[in-house]
Amino acid sequence: MAGVTLSLFPSLPQKASPRTALIGTLLVLILALACQTTSVANLKTPGKVQVPIYGYEVVHAWPHDPGAYTQGLVFHDGKLLESTGQVGRSSLRRVELETGSVLQKTDVQAPYFAEGITLLKGKVYQLTWQHQLGFIYDGWTFEKLGEFHYQGEGWGLANDGQSLILSDGSNRIRFLDPATFEVRKTIAVLDGRATVNELNELEYVQGEIYANIWHADRIARIDPLTGRVIGWIELTGLLARGEVSDEEAVLNGIAYDETNNRLFVTGKLWPKVFEIRLRPK
């Protein structure tokens, strides 16, 4: 607007006394210093931005094989696809949700330790932990169609319809071309400025990446464009005390029923699979 001058501070009188001018100058300096101090303090304080935290409501619980060392979970066509780990016990399974019965199974032979899985365009992709090798299966017959390679460890696997989304136990998530397995992009997962490590099993849910954190009863909700944590799901108490005894029987396994908007979670060696509904805490 022509002829109008805006200022952060009130104008001093045109003929101010030296004392008044000095007070005004000191006021300006104090306020400027305060602003500078606040800015520096905010820059040095990690995790300042608070993200939403969600609790849960159990909608239903179904039986789950307590011998299944769950590493990957997918919901498809009314059934669960599950990858189980440990050398000599690894497998790919099709599981009936309501009973926990294993309807179909193919074993992963030693020395491989199976990890996460995802289903993309009729094919199941399955990671192994330390061999930098993945397996490709027909999604219906479980016939092995091929193998693929990647760098580093394999932990969790999901997809957004275009890319395979892979975690390796760090705070990095890589997006791979499902045809060439070249890395399209990598994101670093941060909660504010704090690094979020040990990202485990992954699921792509309504435009977000859900990630288990190894040995933690919580799931991170991650922006796939930036790696920023945009929410936490706290699942403490989901499994009652005494239902598992192995210290590695930790929360791991997320599956999403896109058609009916249902979210399922389970854990390694857990006797149950839970359908949960999120609730703000």
Give the tens place of pLDDT for each residue, 48-65: 568 999 999 999 999 999
Mean pLDDT of 98-115: 97
Is the sign of the CA dihedral 112, 114, 120, 138 positive or negative? positive
Encode pLDDT of 262-274 as tens digits.
999 999 999 999 9
150-177, pLDDT tens digit by residue?
999 999 999 999 999 999 999 999 999 9
pLDDT score of 48? 52
User: If you count DSSP H runs as helices and E runs as strands, how many of each does the chain have, helices first?
Assistant: 1, 22
Average pLDDT on 129-133 reads 97
Mean pLDDT of 70-74: 98
- Cβ atoms within 10 Å of 71's Cβ, excluding its own: 30
The predicted model scores a pTM of 0.81
Q: Which helix (H) or strand (E) holds 23?
A: helix 18-44
Return d(Cα 202, Cα 167) in angstroms, integer: 8
What is residue 41's DSSP assignment?
Answer: H
* Cβ atoms 123, 109 nearer than 8 A: no
Provide mean pLDDT across the span 192-213.
Answer: 97
Bridge partners of 173, per DSSP, are 167, 187
Beta bridge mates, 73 = 82
CA distance 138 to 122: 6
Backbone angles phi, psi at 74, to 5 degrees: -140, 140
Q: Provide the b/e sequence for 7-31 (b: ≥16 CB within 10 Å).
A: eeeeeeeeeeeeeeeeebeeeeeee
